[in-house]
Structure 1
Amino acid sequence: MIQEFKAFISRGNVLDLAVAVIIGAAFGKIVTSLTEDLVMPLIGAIFGNVDFSSKFVLLGAVPANYAGSLSDYAALKAAGVPLFGYGAFLTAIINFMIIAFAIFLVVKAANKVQKPAETSAGPTEVELLTEIRDALKK
């Protein structure tokens, strides 16, 4: 069983997948930072310094022992208050769109680089038969 496991792990596909997952996680963090630290503040500035990550609607009562701000999304969420966090959802959608577009560009570039070189197919069957016929006539 250990030999089978070694053979499984040493296959190229498994190692490629592991590398892809690690790079994908790192890329996701970069895109999240890009969205939260650059894109969303720009969108917020366009719409009047709106911070989308803290946009929400209260769906239930706030606990009596809650001492934080009623506009602090993270604190309310940690206190267990039911919230409709449309700002966080909007940020997640923008994250996804940026990641999807970046992956599209990478795949497009990879496909352009990996285009197979055109090879001559050689003579067709009809051309070969014509050559054989002509050779037999001689």
Structure 2
Amino acid sequence: MSIASEFKEFAVKGNVMDLAIGVIIGGAFGKIVDSVVNDLIMPLIGAMIGKLDFSNLFVVLGQNPNNLTVLAELKKAGVPVFAYGSFITVAVNFLILAFIIFMMVKQINRLKKAEPAPAPLPTPEDVVLLREIRDSLKK
């Protein structure tokens, strides 16, 4: 079997195609969750805490020659920063995404039909005869 035919056989298997579709949908879904977190949830959390903007929480680790105060400007200037606000946003993003995936898997498992228990195998005839003999001897 040539490499090309082996690859073709591998690529057209159902699991590989399912994985590819899952990755594409997951990427698009990730963008939606990013938007929900960055545009809806984090501003609400910031408003509840006191007009706090998580995207601009950082600690400057090096020299700040121009006394810049915006994270994007500091990164553009090459100043090393410890951007823990970005991490908080990404962590909240992950928790929301993990919870949504958990709920989806839970729902899918609930929708799956429970497999019926396999029917018991018929008892062999010799075992039935031996039980009858045993029961008659007990009497």
> Does TM, scored on the shorter chain, surpass 0.5?
yes
Looking at structure 2, the residues matched to 89 and 25 of structure 1 have their Cα atoms a distance apart, in angstroms, of 20
Pairwise CA distance, 1:111? 1.1
Larger Rg over CA atoms: 2
1:124 to 1:50, Cα distance in 2 relative to 1, 3 A: farther
Residue 6 to residue 47, structure 1, CA distance change in 2 (3 Å): same
The residue identity in structure 1 corresponding to 2:48 is I
Task: Give the Cα separation in 1 of the matches to 2:113 and 2:80.
Answer: 52
Look up the SS of the partner of 2:116 in the other structure.
coil
Q: What code does the residue aligned with 1:114 have?
A: K
The equivalent residue for 1:29 is 31
How far apart are the structure 2 equivalents of 1:80 and 1:86? 17
Amino acid at match of 2:87: F
CA distance in 2: counterparts of 1:56 and 1:96, whole angstroms: 20
- Mark the runs of 5 or more structure 1 residues left unpaired by the alignment: none
Are residue 94 (structure 1) and residue 92 (structure 2) matched? Answer: yes
Structure 1 residue 49, shift from structure 2 partner: 1.0
Match of 1:118 in 2: 116
Q: Paired residue for 1:16, among 11, 15, 18?
A: 18
Residue 48 of structure 1 and its aligned partner are, at CA, apart by 1.1
Aligned residue identity for 1:99: L
Moved more, 124-133 or 111-120: 124-133
Write the distance in 1 (CA, Å) between the matches of 2:126 and 2:104.
43
Provide the C-alpha distance between the structure 2 equivalents of 1:129 and 1:85, rounded to a whole number of angstroms: 75
Give ranges in structure 2 of 5+ residues lacking alignment: 133-139
| TM-score normalised per structure 1 | 0.83
| TM norm structure 2 | 0.82
- The 5 A counterparts of 1:58-97 are 58-63=60-65, 66=66, 70-97=68-95
Consecutive aligned runs of 4 or more in structure 1 exceeding 6 Å deviation: none
| Superposition CA RMSD, Å | 2.4
